[in-house]
Structure 1
Amino acid sequence: MRVLFLHPNFPAQYRHVATVLGHDPKNQVVFGTKNERPEWKIPGVKKALFNPSRDPHPGTHHYVRPLESAVLYGQAVFRMADQLKEQGFVPDVICGHSGWGPTLFVKDAFPGVPLLCYFEWFYHAYGSDANFDPSDPLSIDDVARIRIKNAPILVDLYSCDWGLSPTYWQRSQFPPEFQSKISVMHDGVDTDYFKPNPGTKLVLPNLDLSHVDELVTYVARGMEPYRGFPEFIESVAYIQERRPNCHVVVVGSDRVCYGKSLPDGKSYKEHMLEKVPLDLSRVHFVGALPYGQYLKVIQASQAHIYLTRPFVLSWSMIESLSTGCLVIGSDTQPVREVIEHGKNGLLADFFSPKEIADRVDEVMDHPDRMAELRKNARETVLERYALKDLVFRHIQLIEDVANGVLSSHEFKVS
């Protein structure tokens, strides 16, 4: 099978499935990407680079700028496709992430070749992430801009042969008339790698917490309101007041990945540490970590706090559950799809730092009761999100799309 993957960032969501396909010499796998990342290589997978000819014009209306960017990406992929055809490569199936634009014109570049789109998110002004925080109301500009942001995704929904979304919550955001052509299948978590290590203590190259008996952790790509960073910091103040021996480790970059930056130029970390007095000798900001060190953090954690607006669910939450971590999650739709309160984790009001701290007390004060939840957390991932099962279901879906065998391919949640 000849497969073309498309994503601006290599290898992104396609890392595992591209690895398995590339391992089979009967397959020919090409990954079209904007960012070469020479340090990332997958045996049997050839990279093909596409580069937009320019950035969106500064004079373009700001509602339309993301669409212009997507068109430029799609145009660059069209040129890349011509080069691939000159080299004798025509795929049997194309798998591409919808939104940035690489998939916009591939049905024209490769007529008759089936397209399987990865649909991660459909934007709404109301009812999900954008208007979730009552203290951050939307402007008329916000509402109009969010509607237009879906333009390239709507083109893909119309033109793709089939779609894929990682969770039922995420699929539910797409227009109902298109949901019947979107399968639900998570990317999967390597449960052999993300596994429990009972009794482990946290020791990193620049941080030794081997003496600590109470460890709370937080992981996110950035420190931002979308992932509840302000509420988390406020909860730490309660935790420190109640638990004088508790340490907190924060994994992530001091940046905004989703949502708005502060108008004064400060980061949310700077803003919150000025606003909330903490004992910083017991709060450890370790930055973004390589996988091996990140794994040690969540394996050593007694209570892992994961907060999110009603938005895309983070891989890190399911990876944490896979290690048998006791996750205290926000009581929001994407989290509730995975965590059942009191069964495989605990839930708390996103906007209540005090309730989040109460959950930490519950975890620390009742270790025997929590043991069953930790066991169930691991079982949840083994049953529903294990990579060793899902990667082959994903490949079967790709083969079915390539062969024109289209069906629901649902990944049922028990």
Structure 2
Amino acid sequence: MNILLAHNNFPGQFHRLAVELAADPANKVLFLSHYRRKDLNVPKVEWRQVPLPAEENTPSSPRKKYLTLLAQGERFADAMVALRKEGYRPDLIYGHVGFGCCIYAPDIFPDAAHAGFFEWYYSADADTRFFAGNKPVALNTRAENRQSNMCTLSALKECVLGIAPTEWQRIQHPPEFLHKIHTLHDGIDTQFFSPQANKTPLKLKSLDLSQAEEIVTYATRGLEPYRGFPTFYRSLPALLAARPKAHVVIMADDRAAYSGKRKDGKTWKDVLREEVHVDESRVHFIPFQPYDQYRALLRASDVHVYLTAPFVLSWSMLEAMSCGCLLVASNTEPVREVVQDGVNGFLADFWDHEALARRVVACLANRAKLDQVRANARKTILARYALHKLLPRHVALLKAACYLNQAQFPKR
């Protein structure tokens, strides 16, 4: 079977799936993307780079989003047309619908089965309402959300089925299309992300905390409001005062992955360090690390903090739970789908930095009594998110997409 995967990044959420599909001798897997991670091994998968579109020069933010998505779709379309000229005919196309990768795919390969990865559908509710509070959602924000959904709506109409990683993410999509979308997480490698039998001191290539008695960890792609960085950083003075032997490790890149850049040109790290004064000898910023270093951090953690707005749930929370971390997480919808307060982790108000500090301090003070909570965190991941259980379901769903396509469209 010829399988065409399309994503902005190679391999993105499709890493393990691509490897699994390519391991079957009956399959030939080809991957189109703009960007490529060279540190990940993806054997037997052919990768082709899609050129980036020229940046549109327009002052209108909503229109810029719209034009960018269309331009990305056109670049992927060019790559697909080139493949078609080579005689390539995919049986299945599976793409991340939010990036516009596959918006023209049904026109180029009309006989293929089209399946979509549906990560998020933007609306005036969920994350938008969460940050707007009691204020009306700005017209520009509504317009930009509508532009962001353009490719998703097209994919909902064209696909035979879709996959969303969590039920929370699935139900953001229009109800008339929910019958097409299956809830199925990408999966966590529970063999790799596992507790260490005998906990060892933390000594990374970029940081030596082998003498630290308590370590609080926070790990995310970017330092930004969507992942609760302002609340977390504002909690640190009270936390450090209450636990004088504690160190805090913040593993993240100094950027905003989801929240957008600040208008003043500063990063959220700059702003928070100006606003909040902490003992910088006990607060350690390090860029996001390779997986072995990242796992070492999670294994050494005494309390791991994860905060998110009502938005896409990060792998990092599930990876921390798989490592048996004592988790303090935001009391928001995507987290509550996984975490039961006091059972497999603890919840705290996303906005309340004082309450967050109290929660973390209490966990540090009582961590010797909370081994069962750690164990339950790992059990949750083993039961519901283990990669070895979910990968066969992904493969089965994509095969089902081919059968559905043949039944619905014997020949287009």
Shorter-chain TM-score: what band? over 0.9
**Which residues in structure 2 correspond to 1:129-144 (within 5 Å)?**
129-134=127-132, 137=135, 138-144=137-143
The offset of 1:148, in angstroms, is 2.9
Q: Following superposition of structure 1 onto structure 2, how do residues 133-212 of structure 1 map, counting pairs within 5 Å?
A: 133-134=131-132, 137=135, 138-197=137-196, 198-212=198-212
Whole-Å separation in 2 of the counterparts to 1:383 and 1:406: 34
Q: 1:191 to 1:141 in 2, by over 3 A?
A: same
1:67–1:152 CA contact under 8 A, matched in 2: no
Question: Which position in structure 1 is the counterpart of 2:272?
Answer: 272
Shift of 1:372: 0.5
Equivalents in 2 of 1:361, 1:117: separation in Å?
43
Could you tell me which residue of structure 1 aligns to residue 93 of structure 2?
94
Q: Match for residue 126 of structure 2?
A: 128
Cα distance change, pair 152–299 in 1 and its aligned pair in 2 (3 A)? same
2: CA distance, partners of 1:17 / 1:6: 13
Q: Secondary structure at the match of 1:313?
A: coil
User: 1:326 matched to which residue of 2?
Assistant: 326
Whole-Å separation in 2 of the counterparts to 1:178 and 1:160 = 10
Asked if the contact 2:122/2:172 (under 8 Å) is kept, the reply is yes
Q: Distance in 1 between matches of 2:272 and 2:74?
A: 42
Aligned to 1:342: 342
In the alignment, the residues of structure 1 paired with residue 400 and residue 391 of structure 2 have an alpha-carbon distance, to the nearest angstrom, of 14
CA distance in 1, matches of 2:134, 2:54: 33
The whole-number CA distance in structure 2 between the counterparts of 1:260 and 1:51 is 24
**Equivalent residue pairs, number:** 405
Letter in 1 for 2:20: V
3-state secondary structure, aligned to 1:403: helix
> Kindly tell me: are residues 38 and 240 of structure 1, through their superposed partners in 2, closer, same or farther at Cα, counting changes over 3 Å?
closer
Alpha-carbon spacing, 1:34–1:206, altered in 2? closer, same or farther (3 Å): closer
Query: How high is the sequence identity, in percent, across the aligned residues?
Result: 39
- Does structure 2 conserve the Cα–Cα contact (< 8 Å) formed by 1:303 and 1:327? yes
Partner Cα separation in structure 2 for residue 187 and residue 172 of structure 1: 17
1:60 Cα shift? 7.5
Match of 2:410 in 1: none
Q: Structure 2: how far apart are the matches of 1:59 and 1:357?
A: 43
Deviation per residue, 1:354-408 (Å, 9 max, x gap): 111111122112224310000000000000000011111101111111122799x
Q: For 2:80 and 2:132, locate their aligned partners in 1 and report how far apart those are by CA, in whole Å.
A: 46
- Alpha-carbon distance change, 406 to 119 in structure 1, aligned in 2, over 3 angstroms: farther
Matched to 2:48, the amino acid is: A
Once residues 249 and 104 of structure 2 are traced to their aligned partners in structure 1, the CA distance between those partners, rounded to angstroms, is 45
Aligned to 1:105: 104
Q: In the aligned structure 2, how far is the partner of 1:201 from the partner of 1:363? A: 19
Deviation at 1:312, TM superposition (A): 0.4
The runs of 5 or more residues in structure 2 that have no matched partner are: 408-412
Matched, 1:248 2:248: yes
AA aligned to 1:334 is P
Q: Does residue 84 of the first structure (1) align with residue 83 of the second (2)?
A: yes
Is the partner of 1:256 in helix, strand or coil? Answer: coil
* 1:13 to 1:55, Cα distance in 2 relative to 1, 3 A: same
Which SS does the other structure have where 2:126 is aligned? Answer: coil
Is residue 2:48 matched to residue 1:48?
yes
How far did residue 190 of structure 1 move? 0.2
| RMSD, matched Cα | 1.8
Per the alignment, residue 382 of structure 1 pairs with 382
Greater helix share, structure number: 2
Separation in 1 of the partners of 2:82 and 2:142?
40
| Deviations, residues 132-187 of structure 1 (Å, cap 9, x unaligned) | 13579542222222223211211111111111100000011101111110000000
Corresponding residue of 1:72: 71
Of residues 40-49 and 103-112 in structure 1, the stretch that sits farther from structure 2 once superposed is 40-49
Secondary structure at 2:339 match in 1: coil
Q: Contact 1:214–1:302 at 8 Å: present in 2 too?
A: yes
Taking a change above 3 Å as real, the CA distance of residues 388 and 92 of structure 1, as seen in their structure-2 partners, is: same
Q: Residue 351 of structure 1 aligns with which residue? A: 351
What code does the residue aligned with 2:131 have?
D
Compute the displacement of 1:32 (Å): 1.0
Cα distance, 1:205–1:223 mapped onto 2, change above 3 Å: same
3-state secondary structure, aligned to 1:17: helix
State the alpha-carbon separation in 1 of the partners of residues 154 and 173 from structure 2: 13
Distance 1:213 1:40, change over 3 A: closer
C-alpha distance in 1 between matches for 2:375 and 2:240: 27
1:231 and 2:235 correspond: no
Deviation at 1:337, TM superposition (A): 0.4
CA distance in 2, matches of 1:109, 1:70: 18
Q: If the length of structure 1 is used for normalisation, what is the TM-score?
A: 0.94
Deviation at 1:5, TM superposition (A): 0.1
For the structure 1 residues 59 and 362, does the alpha-carbon distance in structure 2 shift closer, same or farther, using more than 3 Å as the test? closer
Give the distance between the partners of 2:101 and 2:260, measured in 1 at CA. Answer: 25
Q: What is the CA distance between 1:291 and its match in structure 2? A: 0.8
Shift of 1:216: 0.3
Corresponding residue SS for 2:392 = helix
For 1:161 and 1:133, the matched residues in 2 are separated by: 34
- Consecutive unaligned residues of structure 1, counting only runs of 5 or more, are 408-414
Superposed CA deviations along residues 101-134 of structure 1, whole A, max 9, x for unmatched, are 1110111110121111000000012x21123135
Give the Cα separation in 2 of the matches to 1:262 and 1:59: 18
SS at match of 1:31: strand
Structure 1: distance between partners of 2:276 and 2:132: 21
CA contact (8 A) 1:187 1:390 kept: yes
Answer whether contact 1:52 1:75 (CA < 8 A) is retained. Answer: no
